[in-house]
Structure 1
């Protein structure tokens, strides 16, 4: 940030004069255009989650909505250390890990046809789907 200037993250906006009748219509258009469906996928198998994401993207693009993604989110890795011996040799341990793969898909400007198609889509049971 230099002296006498505003910070870089401040954005100035100016109002555009419009007719009073037009303002209500514009608000309606913005609210309809601003709708978004966010789908989060979780799975232990990366191939299953990629196939599910591909199927969702194909279905949504067929219905005419815009799709952003799939965005790969960081993989969650849980490591468990287990003692190998049943009673002795505590220093000898075996490590097991579970990896949770995650994807994010945003659907912009969804139509009723898009929502119906998403409800009918058949995904594997190993993929957890969270729709917001």
Structure 2
């Protein structure tokens, strides 16, 4: 995952993306990218800019604005993909442990039966 965001930063980024999708799309297709006012006194916005989730742009008509970066847009799909991969690894490890336990039990049973036959 390229962005390392804390919970408050993720919530703010999610809010901005939802806001943009609700206002800047038609028939679920993005029409244009929303711009948000740049607030240098907003610590959360400054953290998102520093993390790379937001970009600062100079607009001749509106002054300094903030837009969501491509890393900001891809943060949640990447996070979901990483969580799914981790879940798949955990399931694979659990299956491997289960198969090992089963193989061990079968080996013990065969050994016990061979011990009974050898008497």
- Structure (1/2) with the larger strand percentage: 1
Give TM-score scaled by structure 2 length.
0.23
- Structure number with higher relative contact order (C-alpha < 8 Å, ≥ 6 residues apart): 1
